[in-house]
Amino acid sequence: MTHPLLDLPPLSAARFASIEDRVARLLSTEQDVVITQGEALLPLEGAIRSAAGPGTTALNVVTGPYGQTFGNWLRDCGARVIDLAVPFHTAVTAEQIREAFTEHPEIDFVSLVHAEAATGNTNPVAEIGEVVRRHGALFYLDAVASVGAEPVLTDAWGVDLCVIGAQKAMGGPAGVSAVSVSGRAWARMAANPGAPRRSYLSLLDWKERWTDAGRTALPHAPAQLEMLALEACVERIEKVGLRAVMDRHAAAAAAARAGARALGGGLEPYVRRDAEAAPVATTLRAPSDADASELVAWALETDPGLPLAAGGGALASEMIRVNHYGADATVDVVRGCLAALGDALARKGLTVDVDAALRAATEGSRR
């Protein structure tokens, strides 16, 4: 008996290449795009280990947990790392990047997370890119949580290594990911004796054996199911239009912020300024006398399917995440989250106005 997920014809090199090209269009780039056969941590780590080494001075911008991870990889590679950390309720500014270059003109690598689903902030990449370009540093960007939710203009912003995964706003699979690689980034890797070779983390192996070889023969068996899912997800975005997908996320975020403010009970948006809030997910600060994990657990008793989570690690007691991305990027889902959080706050003995929150969510989403 044939099975729809199992008995598939082989995925051809031509089809694999065409999926790469479609991802490149989504990233507004003419650079090489390498699809990596694993979750986004694979190209995130591979790109750092390939491009950074003992000669590197890296400015590592920390606006959430991923920035911390990148700093650790950079140090692993022997790079000198200058961490620029900002409070998780804000974004970094281009001015702060400018100041870092003034203080350390030797910086030749900048790592930045565009939007952080885990903290709910988004950084002004266009302005930062201008500063990075002016100083000639290599620009590495984690766009996993921004692609599909807000513009990612890889070439226009001068991004040398732009990493995406499909599992957030694209509403796709988590098991494949991609990285765009500029000519400058390839040159940096080629000159780096520590760049992984004959390794799962090696981007240079893919360049040599796939991209430069004309993309006619795959070096290894492709992750076929994930590639088909990635193709389907890009196709769906092309069909409804990237703009419409981004608008849906922006409306959900606006609804979540307006609704949370109107709900009362001491709940408030974690990221204070609207302009610094990521469209992919909205983080909320729990009232000081309530525990975020407990509120989330109670809210999920109402409806276990709601995309609610407590913050990770040290944020678990104070942060509530409304993960309104992918199929959950709708005002209705956000309204469901607000109603359930309202119930949880009321159970805690706090005064809330759920009707006002639902109204504000709908009105807020239209602005």
Ligand X SMILES: *Cc1c(COP(=O)(O)O)cnc(C)c1O
- Burial of 211 (C-beta count, 10 Å sphere; 0-12/13-18/19+): middle
User: Using the rule CB under 6 A, is 113 a contact of ligand X?
Assistant: yes
User: % helix / strand / coil in the chain, to the nearest 5?
Assistant: 45, 15, 40
Among the listed residues 128, 144, 290, 333, the single contact to ligand X using CB under 6 A: 144
Count the site residues for ligand X by CB under 6 A.
13
Query: C-beta of 90: minimal distance to ligand X in Å?
Result: 16
Does 276 interact with ligand X (rule: CB under 6 A)?
A: no
Return d(Cα 199, Cα 101) in angstroms, integer.
33
Does 256 participate in binding ligand X (rule CB under 6 A)?
A: no
Task: Report how far residue 118's alpha carbon sits from residue 135's, in angstroms, rounded to the nearest whole number.
Answer: 30
Judged by beta carbon, residue 262 or residue 322, the one nearer ligand X is 322
- Give the one residue of 117, 189, 253, 340 binding ligand X; rule: CB under 6 A: 117
| β-pairing verdict for 268-269 and 282-285 | antiparallel
Candidate segments 82-90, 139-147, 247-255, 335-343, binder of ligand X by CB under 6 A:
139-147
Rounded to the nearest whole angstrom, what is the least distance from the CB of residue 179 to ligand X in the complex? 12
Using CB under 6 A, which residues numbered 7 to 66 contact ligand X?
39-41, 66
**Nearer to ligand X (CB atom), residue 32 or residue 142:** 142
Q: Which is nearer to ligand X, 39 or 231 (CB)?
A: 39
Residue by residue, DSSP assigns 6-73 as: TSPPPPPHHHHHHHHHHHHHHTT--SEEEEESS-THHHHHHHHHHH--TT-EEEEEESSHHHHHHHHH
Q: Tell me which residues in 182-201 interact with ligand X (CB under 6 A).
A: none
Q: Is 145 in the site for ligand X (CB under 6 A)?
A: yes
Nearer to ligand X, 164 or 341 (CB): 164
Looking at 165, 265, 279, 364, which residue binds ligand X (CB under 6 A)?
A: 165
Terminal C-alpha separation, the chain: 53
Residues 66-95 that bind ligand X (CB under 6 A): 66
Question: Among residues 65 and 264, whose Cβ is nearest to ligand X?
Answer: 65
Which DSSP string corresponds to 259-270? Answer: HHHHHBTT-EES
The strand pair at 282-285 and 319-322 is best described as antiparallel
What pairs with residue 150 in β-bridges?
Answer: 147
Task: Note whether 142 binds ligand X by CB under 6 A.
Answer: yes
What gap in Å lies between CA 226 and CA 247, rounded to an integer? 26
Binding site for ligand X (CB under 6 A): 39-41, 66, 113, 116-118, 142, 144-145, 165, 168
